[in-house]
Chain A
Amino acid sequence: MGTKGAQILVDALIEEGVQHVFGYPGGSVLPLFDALYDAPIKFILPRHEQAAAHAADGYARATGKVGVCIATSGPGATNLTTGIATANMDSIPVVAITGQVKTHLIGNDAFQEADVTGITRPITKHNYLVKNVHDLARVIKEAFYIARTGRPGPVVVDVPVDVTTALLEGAPDKTIRLPGYKPVTEGHPRQIKLAAAAINAAHKPVLYLGGGVVLSNAAAEARALAEKANMPVAMTLMGLGAFPGDHPLALGMLGMHGTPTANYAVTESDLIISVGARFDDRVTGRIDAFAPSAKVIHIDIDPSSISKNVRVDIPVVGDARGILSDLTEQATAQPREAWHKQITAWKKKHPLAYDPGSGAIKPQAVLQELCRQAPEDAIITTEVGQNQMWTALWYTFRRPRTLVSSGGLGTMGFGFPAAIGAQVGCPGRLVVDVAGDGSIQMNIQELATVAQYKLPVKVLILNNGFLGMVRQWQELFYQRRYSQTTLNGNPDFVKLAEAYGVKGMRVTAPGEVPDALREMIRTEGPVFLDARIEPEENVFPMVPAGQAINRMIGGMA
């Protein structure tokens, strides 16, 4: 007798504590789906494999658990790739299982064959092609271990269909064997001591928090350090929520669309303490003008992040959480009066601002109102473009894992399926996808998924009739030549939602926004809210690409 590979795979998922799987069937995963049929795992069927990958990713970002998606060989697997690359750029733990043609057909251009390990190698943390049923249980165990430890990331496991039908006698081998994988978790005490001394000696420090703080569940530790050492805190897009945005020490986001205060503070600082961030070009702007007189402490679990983009004075490799608590212990309370006075002056002189206008709905106002009405633990996902930046600037994130956004890859079409994943992982909570009318159409078929599973996801479309962010660049840098950024063929989003049995709403006047949002939030099921906003509103402030980050244009009072 023995156990079938498909059953071994499903048992291995259960052993990893997997409760939810997002996936789509097909020929080469028939045996696997058969084994899943009676498994104690809740299966969610999105309507496109890309959405399955984003949903697994959104699930992981919202819950901190490993997200799992499954697709068939060939086109199923290639449809996953955008989602895998998105997770990879933001270091999100996802295990993607793909079917593959029979072992003996691999390399023959068989029906629905794609070289999945070849295709996904540059967009995964690691990948496997399992050629023998003996290896299956061990590989699944290793995949989860690699995905969630060290700097997390997606792992692909490609399983030929004959491996899932093969029988294994006896108990499967589950011993992890990864001699080349030893993530460093504890920071070196000597480096931590040096970092603490630099913090204690600094007059104008800025704590710069990235997505790594969220990933390592170190928000409380980051806050403790900021408060004890009395340091202002700037965050990257991925770091939003790692520190309460309404805290007196918070400066908001830094970088291309950062707040003036955050960008000025970083530029003037004498010490940058970067935690779980990677000095991305969207953050640093012109690199030689970035924090020109600052010493840099860089805390990161991935040694290859350190000194990649900027020169680092004190590197500390390890898990942010432990390192931050050690630093807090060694940090001394400092008044830093002149520095805080300066920051308060900047905040006063350059608050975020927009022209309220008179007629049209302003997206900034919508997001401020959403923030007022939504509970602190509401999860906000975004698409990409102006909608994403307005959310980052005008919605105040107060808790970690409440912003779910594609930062590194900037994937349009991410927000809606990611919201589905977040809602599946956090059933009681309000989940809102802040969308653009362009992005939402990239995975709009997921209306069927929210309808089928009665997922109360809210989609707030900031509908400007444009591919807004690209239009903004064309306005500012290409003489308003709106090449292919006008969306003339938009559907009636209300009717479209209704066609799927989802509640559709529309709001066109600023005065109606608060009530519309209230109704959206109160509705038990899913809602599509089509908010017709000022068509040519821009995201400001903005640092033109390649400029120093204190050279902002627009949006400042």
Chain B
Amino acid sequence: MRHVISALVENKPGVLAHIAGLFSSRGFNIDSVAVGRTENPSLSRMTIVVAGDDAILEQVRKQLGKVIDVIKVTDYQGRDTIQRELALVKVATPPGKRQEIIGLVEIFQGKVVDITPGDMVVELSGPEAKVAAFVDLLQPFGLREVARTGVVALARGEAK
């Protein structure tokens, strides 16, 4: 099962490497990791999407909790959360197809952020599944490059 785990970590060098190393040495499969600053400049938030059964997820949470620079671990499974991913998609624009692509971008509430004679770059954010569906739809036109951030998430309502 897919779980979204949020880890509040000290904003120090080496923490990301530590956690990446932990996942690989323990054989955990991560779908994505997103890291960024938080409201507190000394803290970062890592949002980790990981797949596995309950026993694996329990180990993931506990092993993360053991890392001294990890301050708090939250598994969003079963919680009311907002999840978003951002993607930049560079898609080819074959002759006569540009309008069709722009139509799709509008339906998905994306934004065309760059156009060249042969391709365009689209910015799209949304739940992971929506981003994935959009990328799939553009596939037939010719995907040049895709950059996705991985999921970030927050629980609804008051913090703590």
Contacts and interface: CB of A to CB of B under 8 A. Distances in A.
A180 B10 contact: yes
Contacts of B25: 122
B37 interface: no
Interface in B6-45: 9-10, 13-14, 17-18, 21-22, 25
Given A122-B21, A180-B70, A303 B65 contact: yes
B55 A121 contact: no
Contact of B71 (A122, A125, A126, A179): A179
Interface string A301-315: 011101110000000
Contacts of B69: 180
Interface in A286-337: 302-304, 306-308
Contacts of B9: 180
B contact face: mostly helix, strand, loop, or mixed? helix
A1 interface: no
B66 interface: yes
A146 interface: yes
B21 A121 contact: yes
Contacts of B72: 180
B71 A121 contact: no
A200 B142 CA distance: 70
Nearest to B64: A304
A181 interface: yes
B8 to A, nearest CB: 8
B130 interface: no
Contacts of A180: 9-10, 67-72
B14 A117 contact: yes
Contacts of A302: 66
Nearest to A128: B14
A122 B10 CA distance: 18
A304 B14 contact: no
B21 A146 contact: no
Contacts of B65: 303-304
A489 interface: no
A178 B17 contact: no
B63 interface: yes
A304 B66 contact: yes
B62 interface: yes
A491 interface: no
A2 interface: no
Nearest to B13: A129
A126 B9 CA distance: 14
A248 interface: no
Interface string A140-181: 000000100000000000000000000000000000001111
B17 A146 contact: no
Contacts of A178: 68
A304 B26 CA distance: 12
17 contacts: A118-B14, A118-B17, A121-B14, A121-B17, A121-B18, A122-B22, A126-B68, A129-B13, A179-B10, A180-B9, A180-B71, A180-B72, A302-B66, A304-B63, A304-B66, A306-B62, A307-B55
